[in-house]
Amino acid sequence: MSQIKTRFNEMFKTRLPIIGAPMFLVSNPQVVSEVTLAGGLGVFPTLNCRSLEELEIWLDTIESKVGDKPYGVNLIVHKSNERLMKDLDLVLSKNVSLIVSSLGDPSKIVSKAQSKNVKVICDVINLKHGTKALNAGADGLIVVSSGAGGHAGPLSPFCSLPWFRKKFPEKLIVAAGGVSSGAGMAASMCLGADAVSVGTRFIASDEAKVDQAYKDAIVKAGPEDIFMSRALSGVNASVMKTKNNMDFYNWDQSVRGKISQYLYYNLMKKGLKLKKKFSWNNVWSAGQSVGEIEDIKSCKEIMKQFEDEYFEVIKSFS
């Protein structure tokens, strides 16, 4: 088993430069542990746990499986996350190697995390936020590009990755969005990334505890079945145009241009009465890489496929 030489693998002592991306309502201790045990680095959002007690159980479960191999958590640093500092303190009392911060300025958490030797890398979709995060002391950036599942950025990875690399030649840059294969991983690294953060591919895994129909829909869907909406959280998110999501899709299309989706989101938060309330609980998100996903299998097999395809692609160019 070969080691791929990248800044990421050196920093985290991983074998494969693959983050099992944090996914709200999807990531769990099984997915995280399996990604880490296969040589990558699994991450979950702390908000997938309803309480600090549950979070502690998840952290302990993962550590009992992975030993001292690296894993991470995702903290939403937006002011709406009232649990932020309590979650941070608990996480820092454990053996976490990485914090992925999202939805805001990471300065509240950076120095505390780094004082415990925990790296902080930040989800960003543009240069302004990337620069701000690095100025706040972050160890690196996850550049979330167009086509990503969850909150996708506006930029093509063909343009954003070389651009971020040129701006920050010494910093850790991780590519997120649209990577579901070893070929996508190799391409991201050719463009300047040190690692990839993979979400959508792991929804269609044995270990993800989501509806079977959600996994099946991912296998069946193509990139053209993904649309963007701001109605779920106020910023652009990728949503599948599947049977389950049709109420949402039809509503979204009918109000486009009539009311602002941002306004809708805020009204909904304030208790707007609707026949059906749309949320991350009943609307399925996935990225454009669904087109490459042809089966549901274990995280271990997915990681092996990434590795095999990566080396095959590299070999075909030499």
Ligand X SMILES: Cc1cc2nc3c(=O)[nH]c(=O)nc-3n(C[C@H](O)[C@H](O)[C@H](O)COP(=O)(O)O)c2cc1C
- Residue 238 bridge partners (DSSP): 150, 228
99 touches ligand X by CB under 6 A = no
Answer for which of 21, 38, 49, 174 binds ligand X (CB under 6 A) is: 21
**Which of 70, 72, 106, 287: binder of ligand X (CB under 6 A)?**
287
User: Looking at this protein, which amino acid is placed at residue 282?
Assistant: N
E strand or H helix at 140, and its extent? Answer: strand 140-144
Is position 42 an interface residue for ligand X (rule: CB under 6 A)? no
Query: Which residue's entry shows tokens 């050196």?
Result: 10
Pick 70 or 287: Cβ nearer ligand X: 287
Number of residues that bind ligand X (CB under 6 A): 26
Question: Is 294 exposed, middle or buried, given 0-12, 13-18 or 19+ CB atoms closer than 10 A?
Answer: exposed
Select from 26, 133, 217, 293 the one that contacts ligand X (CB under 6 A): 26
By CB under 6 A, is residue 34 in contact with ligand X?
no
122 is an interface residue for ligand X by CB under 6 A = no
- Burial zone of 25 (CB within 10 Å; 0-12 exposed, 13-18 middle, 19+ buried): middle
Position 104 contacts ligand X (CB under 6 A): no
CB-nearer residue toward ligand X: 181 or 261: 181
Q: Contact between 184 and ligand X (CB under 6 A)?
A: no
CA distance 125 to 286: 17
Q: Among 17, 20, 22, 182, which residue interacts with ligand X (rule: CB under 6 A)?
A: 22
State the Cα–Cα distance between residues 215 and 298, nearest whole angstrom: 12
d(CA 101, CA 133): 10
Sheet with 226-229, edge to edge strand ranges? 150-151, 237-240, 226-229
Q: Which of 16, 198, 226, 303 binds ligand X (CB under 6 A)?
A: 198
Which of 34, 123, 207, 307 forms a contact with ligand X (CB under 6 A)? Answer: 123
Which residues make beta-bridge pairs with 227? Answer: 239
- Judged by beta carbon, residue 263 or residue 301, the one nearer ligand X is 301
Dig out the tokens for 233 from the structure. 């959280």
239 binds ligand X (CB under 6 A): no
Determine if 149 is a binding residue for ligand X (CB under 6 A): yes
Kindly list the distances between the CA atom of residue 254 and the CA atoms of 236, 259, 260, in Å, as whole numbers in the listed order: 17, 10, 12
Residue 150 near ligand X by CB under 6 A: yes
Determine how β-strand 71-76 pairs with β-strand 140-144. Answer: unpaired
> Could you say which DSSP state residue 39 is in?
T
- Residue 106 within binding range of ligand X, rule CB under 6 A: no
Hey, which residues between 67 and 96 contact ligand X (CB under 6 A)? Answer: 74
Comparison of 9 and 102: residue with beta carbon closer to ligand X: 102
Q: Rounded to the nearest whole angstrom, what is the least distance from the CB of residue 112 to ligand X in the complex?
A: 19
8 A C-beta contact, residue 291 and residue 149: no
Q: Report how far Cα 115 is from the mean position of its chain's Cα atoms.
A: 25
Q: Does 118 bind ligand X (CB under 6 A)?
A: no
Q: Which of 6, 15, 24, 263 binds ligand X (CB under 6 A)?
A: 24
Q: How far is the CB of 318 from ligand X (least distance, A)?
A: 27
Under the binding rule (CB under 6 A), the answer on residue 148 touching ligand X is: yes
Core vs surface per residue 2-16: b (16+ CB within 10 A) or e: eebebbbbebbebbb
Could you list the residues that contact ligand X (CB under 6 A)?
21-24, 26, 45, 74, 100, 102, 123, 144, 148-150, 176-179, 197-200, 285-287, 289
